Amino acid sequence: MNDSYWRPISVDSIDSECFPPVALFLKSGGNYVLYKDGDRPFGPDDRRRLERSFTEFVYVRTGDLKEINQYLEKNLANMLEREDLSKITKSKILYQTSVNCVIDMFECPETAANLERCNNLIKQMMKFTAAEPHTLEALQAIAGNNFYIFVHSVQVTALSMLMHDKVFNVDPDEMMDVGVGSLIHDYGMIFITDKILDKADALSDVEYFKVKQHTQKGYEFLKNTGRFGEVALNIIRYHHERYDGMGYPVRLKGDEIPRSAQVAAICDVYSALTLDRSYRKATSHSEALKIMRQEAKAGAFNVELLNRFEEVITLAKGS
Ligand SMILES: [Fe+2]
């Protein structure tokens, strides 16, 4: 059965008192094996058993997701305030809930309910990421290859919001737009065929040309829904512009590139380098920054902004 049929749920996020009655599965050697069916409630014994076997995630069928998401999102604020859960557990729950929301957002961005869910999650992220930025790595635990684009999107969001929080004095409305735009910055990828996206070898010129269209295509589609603000749309359209004017889709140069898109470009590259991919292992934090400093010298980024990013992220990692 296809992997997209399953979604991971952090065992820590299961509160036996109110978890909905759905079947749970374990991943074993690439297969999904029934752990418990929908009739039996999840109890304290289950938690102990899973903890003993170091199982961090169980899986649910996507058909049960609506119920699960309602449960997770309803309980999120409570879980983030619980004192018996560690910071790392809380961040796993927060990011995993966000990843599920981003997947739905990619499927149906024009649905008001999905946007509303994302807005609520961004509010939780604003509270949590600003207070506990060093837990960004929690995302790594959730990243399976097929979830890469969604995990990446949530990571770019957390990083962009952290930058806007620490470096610029933005009001909550702008922060919300930064969050939404970052969450779906690569939305236009849905217009690119899987054949190109899954290709392990280098892309041909024609294929690369097609991939590059994701910024403009995503922008046009989302703009037409009439649901997204200017800051969000700027991120979606301009996150591959380069400071030296050699980027795409419009070749904006220097500070012609909206600030939110300059920040997103930096966060995008950092996240892409530091997450595992199917074809290469993740680059370390310091190696990623080294590569990015060279890139900035070659004209990819605003050097000053990259310096700020480095300060913020180094502080966040060290805290
Ligand atoms: Fe992109």
- Mind listing the pLDDT tens digit for each residue in 104-153? 888 888 888 888 888 888 888 888 876 666 566 666 666 555 578 888 99
Distance 111 CA to ligand 1 centre (A): 22
Q: Ligand 1 centroid vs 86 CA: distance in angstroms?
A: 33
Centroid of ligand 1 to alpha carbon of 218 (angstroms)? 10
pLDDT above 90 as % of the chain: 45
d(CA 208, CA 214): 11
- What is the 269 CA–ligand 1 centroid distance (Å)? 9
Q: How far is the CA of 249 from the centre of ligand 1 (A)?
A: 11
Among residues 154, 159, 142, which one has the least CA distance to residue 184? Answer: 154
Tell me how far CA of residue 288 lies from CA of 43, 111, 270, 294, in angstroms. 43, 36, 6, 10
Q: 293: CA distance to ligand 1 center in Å?
A: 20
Q: What distance in angstroms lies between residue 212's CA and the mean position of ligand 1's atoms?
A: 8
3-state secondary structure of 56: coil
The DSSP-derived string for 287-303 is HHHHHHHHHHHTTSS-H
Cα–Cα distance, 100 to 103 (Å, whole number): 5
**Amino acid letter at 90?**
K
pLDDT for the residue 86: 82
Question: What is the reported pLDDT for 1?
Answer: 44
How far does residue 40's CA lie from ligand 1's centre (Å)?
Answer: 43
136 CA distance to ligand 1 middle (Å): 20
Low-confidence ranges of the chain (pLDDT < 50): 1, 319
235 CA to centre of ligand 1 in angstroms: 10
Residues listed for the chain:
319
Type and span of the H or E element at 73: helix 65-81
Determine the Cα–Cα distance for residues 271 and 277; give it in Å rounded to an integer: 11
- pLDDT at residue 129, rounded to an integer: 73
Phi and psi dihedrals of 113, rounded to 5?
-65, -40
Spatial separation of the C-alpha atoms in residues 157 and 73, rounded to whole Å: 18
> How far is ligand 1, taken at its centre, from the CA of residue 73, in Å?
27
**Terminal Cα distance for the chain, rounded:** 42
What pLDDT score was predicted for residue 70?
A: 85
